[in-house]
Amino acid sequence: MKKTAQLTLLESFMKELGYTLRYEKGNFLGGECRLKEDKVVVINKFLPLEGKISTLAQVISKINPTSISVEILKIIDMTRLQ
């Protein structure tokens, strides 16, 4: 699966979980945060594609959702090996 397709799959899964994705510039990698009752994932927009995928995979593995697809599990496993 191409990297852009992996990123799109992870982004859509996070949106299904009720998270808002924000790509911002700054001196950080990214991660999950909560603003009042909103669930937000902030990602550095200047990260390379692999960095964005890795950040989303880390957040997904951290929140450990119950309904996760095989494709997403493969992406998470691949980012752990790198």
Q: How far is CA 47 from CA 23, 67, 71, in A?
A: 10, 28, 23
| Tens digit of each residue's pLDDT (9 = 90 or more) over 6-44 | 999 999 999 999 999 999 998 887 877 777 888 999 999
Q: How many domains does the chain have?
A: 1
| Tens digit of each residue's pLDDT (9 = 90 or more) over 1-11 | 899 999 999 99
- Is the pLDDT at 58 greater than 80? The verdict is yes
Average pLDDT (51-73) is 91
Query: Which residue, 28, 14, 23, is CA-closest to 45?
Result: 23
Indicate the pTM of the whole model: 0.88
Least confident of 6-10, 61-65, 72-76: 61-65
Residue numbers of the domain that contains 49: 3-81
Residue 14 belongs to what H/E stretch?
helix 3-16
